[in-house]
Amino acid sequence: MKIATCGIAALVLTAGLASAQTVIDNGQFGVNISSIGGANGSDIYAQSFVVPTDNRLIQFGMWLQGGGQDAPAVRIDLWGNDANNQADENNVLVSGTVHQGNLDNLTRIDTFTSIDLVPGNTYWIVINGLIDQTSGGVYASTWDGGTNTIASGHMDWSNDLGNTWSGGIDNGDFGVYASFVPVPTPGTAGLLALGGLAAMRRRR
């Protein structure tokens, strides 16, 4: 009976962890930012965010459209924050999904991961065009029109490999997506493990 009880408790906790999440999603805007990637576009488009209490990042993305016949390769990364409160090209935390190809419609390119970030700290979701600076095409993306939809967030871009930054647009954010889940506490993790062992014993 005790074994069965532990197994049920573990399943309930697992369901709770799976359903609880914090999501940043402000990408419901039109195509209004152009010239990303390739030989003729900006090298880096970056949007900062502050990590919520639920601090395990499991998915993040940015929006692309276009690319053209000679579409460049770009990568959706997670970068750290530097001492000047800018995206740190020397601190790539997640080298993300690479996309290369023409997109007729605005499409979110997602990177899936599992990384524990520091609650309250600033990080950047980045369209990294540094990986292809020879292709002739460029992408477009989206921003919120200056409504400042991401609390404590900041949009920025660089045309010179991240050596200098534009400063972005006042009160504006790029369209990004980020999904977070709680990090299990040590006690919860132990209970989940116990429940799993109990379930294995029952099957035998």
As a whole number of angstroms, the distance between CA 76 and CA 187 comes to: 34
| Single pTM value for the model | 0.83
What pLDDT was estimated at residue 40?
A: 95
Rounded distance between C-alpha atoms, residue 107 and residue 109, angstroms: 6
What does the pLDDT read at residue 171?
A: 83
Angle (CA) 125 55 47, round 5°: 15
Q: For residue range 89-129, what is the model confidence (pLDDT) as tens digits?
A: 999 999 999 999 999 999 999 999 999 999 999 999 999 99
Locus of tokens 């460049």: 72
Q: Give CA–CA dist 137/45, Å, rounded.
A: 16
pLDDT band at 14 (very low <50, low <70, confident <90, very high): very low
